[in-house]
């Protein structure tokens, strides 16, 4: 079985491996690369367009109903920026 999750930006159902998971922990937000963090999470496509519009639309703020560290957006942007 190939689990699918909804991207917080484009709202498409996407296979898990094509998404980044952002998790809300007691220490704040982090990107859950191993998909092991047992806490609320939100998914976003590993796609520059989705990641850039996430910041503009405050997609994670909406999803978590709270303020989120802007470093999460910075990190996501860095992750998709090295594809030339
Ligand atoms: Zn997306």
At 29, phi and psi to the nearest 5? -95, 150
Closest alpha carbon to 24 in 7, 41, 43: 41
Structure pTM? 0.91
Each residue's pLDDT expressed in tens, for the chain with a length of 84 residues: 678 999 999 999 999 999 999 999 998 999 999 888 999 999 999 999 999 999 999 999 999 999 999 999 999 999 998 655
Ligand 1 geometric centre to CA of 27 (Å): 26
Total of domains in the chain: 1
Q: Which residues form the domain of 60? A: 4-81
Ligand 1 geometric centre to CA of 54 (Å): 9
Ligand 1 geometric centre to CA of 48 (Å): 9
At 70, phi and psi to the nearest 5? -65, -15
Give the CATH number, domain containing residue 13.
Answer: 3.30.1230.10
H helices within 1-84, ranges in order? Answer: 48-57, 59-64, 70-81
Beta-carbon neighbours within 5 Å of ion ligand 1: 7, 9-10, 45, 50
Q: How far is it, in rounded angstroms, from Cα 68 to Cα 60?
A: 7
């Amino acid at each position: 079985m190939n689990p699918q999750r909804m991207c917080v930006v484009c709202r498409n159902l996407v296979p898990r491996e094509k998404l980044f998971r952002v998790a809300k922990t007691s220490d704040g937000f982090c990107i859950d690369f191993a998909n092991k963090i047992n806490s609320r999470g939100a998914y976003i496509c590993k796609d520059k367009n989705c990641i850039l519009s996430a910041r503009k639309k405050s997609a994670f703020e909406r999803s978590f109903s709270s303020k989120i560290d802007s470093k999460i957006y910075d990190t996501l942007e860095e992750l998709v920026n090295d594809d030339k």
